[in-house]
Amino acid sequence: MSQTKGLRRKGRIIAFQVLYGLSFVPPHGGWTCERIYNQSPAVLRETEEELILYGRELLLGIWNEHEEIDEVIGRYSKHWKIERIAKVELAILRLAAYELIHKADIPLKVGINEGIELAKKFGDGNSRNFINGILDAIARDIDTGKFKMEKNF
């Protein structure tokens, strides 16, 4: 694994962990998303600046585009309303969908695989297939030019 790939994977893990935590306690009272990220024990333990910056970029991007991302997830998660998706899977889907849609420098297959890796590490026995199905459908539509944003956010 290249050093950049390893740093990005660790950055994804930290972004996922903070994003997951925000699903329980959203920013409030002067605690912005960025402040919460910067004060996260996982971030404070890290010394690799590139990793910290990538995780912050992901988290803030996801947070700023969450309505758009949730609309996409809802459209592709047939028979599952966003509110019914478990918090772990939803955080993984938000992160991976954000990368698929907004990070053109990351190949679609890599975005899917990274989502699956997060599901293996943090999800339950059903997470991997659920996440793979949704991400694969999004990536397929992006790849074939069928992907469109339904609303203007």
The pLDDT tens digits for 117-133 are: 999 999 998 999 999 99
Side chain identity at residue 101, one-letter code:
I
Which domain CATH number covers 133?
Answer: 1.10.940.10
- 149 touches 43 (CB < 8 A): no
Question: The pTM is what?
Answer: 0.92
DSSP string spanning 29-59? TT--HHHHHHH-HHHHH---HHHHHHHHHHH
Side chain identity at residue 138, one-letter code:
I
| Closest listed residue to residue 137, CA positions, set 73, 65, 62 | 73
Same domain, 91 and 53: no
End position of a domain, from candidates 9, 35, 63:
63
Same domain, 51 and 96: no
Q: What is the pLDDT of residues 89-120, one digit of tens each?
A: 999 999 999 999 999 999 999 999 999 999 99
H or E stretch at 10 = helix 3-22
